[in-house]
Copies of this chain bind each other. A is one copy, B any other.
Amino acid sequence: MAQRIQGVLSPVVTPFTKDLSPDPGRFVRHCKWLLSHGCSGLAAFGTNSEANSLSVDERMLLLEALVQAGVAPAKLMPGTGCCSLTDSVRLTAHAVKLGCAGVLMLPPFYYKGVPEEGLYRNFAEVIERVGDARLQLYLYHIPPVSQVPITLGLIERLLKAYPAAVAGLKDSSGDWNNTKAVLDAFAKTGFDVFPGSEVFLLQGLRAGAKGCITATGNVNPGPIDHVYRNWNTAQADALQAGITATRGIMQKYPMISALKAAIAHWGRDPDWITVRPPLVELSAEQQRALVTELTAAGFDMPGLAA
């Protein structure tokens, strides 16, 4: 089996043209910048990618553009979990066929309060239907948004039934106790856990996490990667405090729009602010305030505008 991705992954924000079409050119450029500035991998088509605001075909075209542009599939962990079983199967099979290192899979998120058995069947059906030994499936636990949790009981059942395919979990619960419980229960058996924010990066690494998959990896990959590479040194806590502070500035705004505003500014490419409905871009005033505060904190995105 190929080496699994470890380190800092970015759920890549998706650029749109002014008419709200996905823009493969800008997407490829941003992905390449991320990989050359600290990201070990790209969790494209995540929550911060507005992936669920795209059609299945739009997602597949963007992924193909990335691979065709020379981005190594071994660096890719695209999101492929949809409400529709057939959509999840189609996206997952496509990603595996392209050679992606893994897929990050949301549970079906329309129905709330569904039984664990139904969620088990969903993931089991995807694994069975894709039917490819290369599949490395990472479960995506993000109850504040999906409202449908990936419980420890579900992980246990899936790992027992599909030990080779079920590779890990992204925990975007924001609840360290949950991350710790998953780590304690499953990390030793080769189940790779990634906190969903760099705020938990150092804490996570000390408890056995393999890195993090974080929104702000889109704009601050270097310093976050620096924590990852120096977690076992005397400077680790100070480095962690730095990236936590940057995250704190970003979190004052709606995250996806703030990420795009930062890229638009430091990349000198104003159209990057565009989001698809139901999201709304930052106002001019919000953009100025964000840039001012980030600049004052010494933030930079080196090489982005080159």
Contact = CB atoms under 8 A, between A and B. Distances in A.
A161 interface: no
Contact of A114 (B108, B146, B148, B278): B278
Contacts of A276: 85
Nearest to A122: B277
A119 B52 contact: no
A145 B20 contact: no
Interface residues of A, number: 38
How many of these chains are in the complex? 2
A64 interface: no
A53 B126 CA distance: 13
B53 A83 contact: yes
Interface in A165-212: none
Given A112-B144, A125-B20, A145-B112, A278 B107 contact: yes
Given A147-B147, A280-B115, A53 B121 contact: no
B121 A277 contact: yes
Contacts of A122: 277-278
A110 interface: yes
Contacts of A110: 47, 52-53, 109, 145-146
Contacts of A112: 144-145, 147
Interface string A277-301: 1111000000000000000000000
A127 to B, nearest CB: 12
A90 B56 CA distance: 12
A118 interface: yes
Nearest to A121: B277
A155 to B, nearest CB: 16
A85 B20 contact: yes
Interface of A: 20, 47, 52-56, 58, 83-87, 90, 107-112, 114-115, 117-119, 121-122, 125, 144-148, 276-280
11 contacts: A20-B85, A52-B110, A53-B108, A85-B276, A85-B277, A109-B110, A110-B145, A111-B145, A111-B279, A115-B278, A121-B280
